[in-house]
Chain A
Amino acid sequence: MPINKLFDGNIETMRQALTLRQERQGLIQSNVANRETPGYTGQDFNFAKVMQSVMSGQGELARTDKGHMQLDAMEASKTREFASEKRPVDLDQEMVKMAENQLMFQVIAKTIGKKFDSLRYAIDEGGK
């Protein structure tokens, strides 16, 4: 088994999910902070849709020239998914979204932890 199989693609996927959750937290905080700012419109992206698009590799942009900037799949998917909702911020909704987001962040963080735990177990026990 090649060594790179040890750290399989799941870790990279989870890293992306964690980053997305963190960025969404920033957006929600921005919404809560500006809840009474005149003219501010709430912003958010659909986590499931962005993640799905990242995992299926749809987000990737073709680079037809060496001079093109690299835009990662996540960035491209996110840009497409941004819902610029033209309505004022609803505080209750934002707080619910934040609780959900925070919980899911913890789930992913814990899962990554478990992943490393099982790796460590394999390393420790394999040497015996």
Chain B
Amino acid sequence: MDTLTAMQISGSALKAERARLNIAAMNLANANTTRTIEGGPYKAKSVVFAAKPLEGVNFQDTLNSTTERLRKVEVVQVSEDKAPFKEVYDPSHPDADANGVVRFPNVNVAEQMVDMMSAKRSYEANVTALDAAKSMALKALEIGR
């Protein structure tokens, strides 16, 4: 493996964490949305991460037991939260049913905030990792100078 391989891994994590952050932002933005294209209130979404082997690894590297163990991360699925909708009694709301109950999205705002902070910290950790790989590569360039 080379430094670029290590950078590819951290890069994949940055992409995945950003996707997670986008989903959290979408959930927060739609925390009170009662109408969607699919009909009904908005459903909270969450990302599913999966560890994937690296792509574009040459034959020499596949024989290397370290490279063989490296995994990048990818968002493989965006799943919908199956929790029940919040039901609020508000007969004046245009989306209220015959009994005056309005169904609001099943978005838990506190949960989304925590998820967002967690994604942010993971993003930072991966930036630090990327930086470490970069400084190592630069240090190696200094050999013999």
Chain A contact residues, CB within 8 Å of chain B? 18, 21-30, 32-40, 43, 45, 75, 78-79, 82, 91, 94-95, 98-99, 101-102, 105-106, 109-110, 112-113, 116
Can you list, as one digit per residue, whether each of B1-43 has a CB less than 8 Å from chain A (1) or not (0)?
1110110011011001000000000000000000000000000
CB B137 to nearest CB in A, in angstroms, measures 9
Q: A36-B118, A102-B135 are in contact. Are A27 and B69 (CB under 8 A)?
A: yes
| Chain A residues whose C-beta falls within 8 Å of the C-beta of B63 in the assembled complex | 75
Instruction: Please give me the residue from chain B that is nearest to A120 by CB atom.
Output: B144
Instruction: Please give me the residue from chain A that is nearest to B136 by CB atom.
Output: A105
Q: Does B67 lie within 8 Å of A26, measured CB to CB?
A: yes
A59–B126 CA distance with the chains assembled, in angstroms: 33
CB A70 to nearest CB in B, in angstroms, measures 10
In this assembly, does B132 line the interface, its C-beta being within 8 Å of a C-beta of chain A? yes
Q: Does B145 lie within 8 Å of A109, measured CB to CB?
A: no
Residues in B91-139 with C-beta less than 8 Å from chain A:
118, 122, 125-126, 128-130, 132-133, 135-136, 139
Instruction: Please give me the residue from chain A that is nearest to B47 by CB atom.
Output: A36
Q: Which residue, B2, B6, B16, B130, has most C-beta atoms of chain A within 10 A?
A: B6
Q: Does A25 lie within 8 Å of B136, measured CB to CB?
A: yes
A40–B73 CA distance with the chains assembled, in angstroms: 10
A78–B66 CA distance with the chains assembled, in angstroms: 8
CB B136 to nearest CB in A, in angstroms, measures 5
Q: Does A109 lie within 8 Å of B142, measured CB to CB?
A: yes
| Chain B residues whose C-beta falls within 8 Å of the C-beta of A105 in the assembled complex | 136, 139-140
Size of B's binding interface in residues, CB under 8 A = 41
In this assembly, does B70 line the interface, its C-beta being within 8 Å of a C-beta of chain A? yes
A112–B145 CA distance with the chains assembled, in angstroms: 11
| Chain B residues whose C-beta falls within 8 Å of the C-beta of A98 in the assembled complex | 128-129, 132
| Chain B residues whose C-beta falls within 8 Å of the C-beta of A78 in the assembled complex | 65-66
Q: A91-B125, A95-B128, A116-B143 are in contact. Are A25 and B65 (CB under 8 A)?
A: no
Q: A29-B129, A34-B73, A95-B125 are in contact. Are A22 and B136 (CB under 8 A)?
A: yes
CB A67 to nearest CB in B, in angstroms, measures 16
In this assembly, does B50 line the interface, its C-beta being within 8 Å of a C-beta of chain A? yes
A29–B95 CA distance with the chains assembled, in angstroms: 49
A43–B128 CA distance with the chains assembled, in angstroms: 19
Q: Does A35 lie within 8 Å of B125, measured CB to CB?
A: yes
Q: A26-B67, A27-B66, A32-B10 are in contact. Are A37 and B129 (CB under 8 A)?
A: no
CB B15 to nearest CB in A, in angstroms, measures 10
In this assembly, does B78 line the interface, its C-beta being within 8 Å of a C-beta of chain A? no
A112–B72 CA distance with the chains assembled, in angstroms: 32
